Amino acid sequence: MSPSKYPIPAAQNTVELEIKRSRFICRVQHTPSAESAKTFIAEIKQQFPEASHNCWAYQAGPPGDSRLIGCSDDGEPHGTAA
């Protein structure tokens, strides 16, 4: 699948929600490699050092290439934000 066949963020986007008195901040940014995705995640952790959990996910290649996927719920208790 060529890169033009699936959406890629053109710029960093941020969405913030409050659910059950918890603040959720979602940042999305194009990162062309797994290494640049990990750098982006580290920068977010530095921006929000007081965060109880820093959940993240990335896909650094075309859809279906599971070798370039990473994620973590950072110990977020199941069902706490539902």
**What is the pTM assigned to this prediction?**
0.75
Exposed (0-12), middle (13-18) or buried (19+): which is 37, by Cβ within 10 Å? Answer: buried
Interval 26-75: pLDDT, tens: 999 998 889 999 999 999 999 999 988 889 999 887 777 777 889 988 87
What integer pLDDT is reported at residue 17 of this predicted model? 94
- In this predicted structure, what is the pLDDT of residue 2? 52
**What are the Cα distances from residue 59, in Å, to 38, 42, 63, 64?**
11, 16, 8, 9
- DSSP lists the bridge partners of residue 18 as 23
- Beta-carbon contacts of 43 under 8 Å, excluding residues fewer than 6 positions away, are none
- For the chain, give every domain's residue range: 3-72
Tell me the chain's radius of gyration from C-alpha atoms: 14
What pLDDT, on the 0 to 100 scale, is given for residue 74? 84
The pLDDT of residue 46 is 95
